[in-house]
Amino acid sequence: MADFQRARSQEQRQQRRQAILDTTARMLTELPIARVGLNELSRRAGMAKSNVLRYFESREAILLELLDRAWAEWNTDLPALLDAALDPAAPVGRRTEDFAAVYATSLADRQVLCDLFSAQAGVLEHNVSADVAARYKKAAAANLSALTELTRTRLPELGDAAQQVCAQAIMVTGAIWTHSQPSPAMLQAYAADPALAALCMDFTPTLQQTVATLIAGTLARTGAAPPRTR
């Protein structure tokens, strides 16, 4: 690291920040969040750990920024997926099922985002300053608002309850993802005992069913016509 030179321009500083984020994102495709540490990150980024900390105050601050970026990218891709799957003239029950299917399958292809959702409250929001926490929460609120508008447009029957549905859907996404990633020991237990194997959670169908149920229950509670199954 002896040849490392401090970035002097705003452009150089931004390039260093982006390099740290990109390196961390690549690590997340190979390792669980718990094993993504600053020592290995700094080695892969070609910086000393102290230099990484010039740009981000902690490992968690890096991961929170990655969560914001990954969530925003997902929001950007969702409209085309929803438009291709949902018929605006279909009954609300069918649109509910189709919406839940797109929600679940689109997230199944985004392992890093699901990992970050699952660690958000218990890990990522710790070991950060109040300034970083506030900045992330503002970004999360913007991402939630974007997701809410996408949902309300396809399921206008939800009305003002769309934001609550989206917030709850994000929370259950993290929980279901965690439970659908069993440890090697649990996989061995499932393989040895068919009765236990029934407890092994499959992410996509479980999330799809949960989101559809969440929407249907909200519609029922708000007085909208309850969705009918296909």
- pLDDT tens sequence for the chain (230 residues): 444 455 567 788 899 999 999 999 999 999 999 999 999 999 999 999 999 999 999 999 999 999 999 999 999 999 999 999 999 999 999 999 999 999 999 999 999 999 999 999 999 999 999 999 999 999 999 999 999 999 999 999 999 999 999 999 999 999 999 999 888 898 899 889 888 877 888 999 999 999 999 999 999 998 765 445 44
In the three-class reduction of DSSP (H, G, I as helix; E, B as strand; rest coil), residue 4 is classed as coil
Range of the domain at 165: 58-221
Same domain for 74 and 183, yes or no, is: yes
The answer to whether residue 155 is domain-embedded is: yes
Same domain for 139 and 192, yes or no, is: yes
| Count of C-beta atoms within a 10 Å radius of residue 32 | 11
What is the reported pTM?
Answer: 0.88
Same domain for 37 and 8, yes or no, is: yes
Q: Which long-range contacts (CB under 8 A, 24 or more apart) does 196-205 make?
A: 201/176, 203/104, 203/108, 203/114, 203/176, 203/177, 204/104, 204/105, 204/108, 205/104
The CATH code of the domain that includes 69 is: 1.10.357.10
The CATH code of the domain that includes 49 is: 1.10.10
Same domain for 128 and 66, yes or no, is: yes
Same domain for 73 and 185, yes or no, is: yes
Same domain for 52 and 70, yes or no, is: no
**Counted domains in the chain:** 2
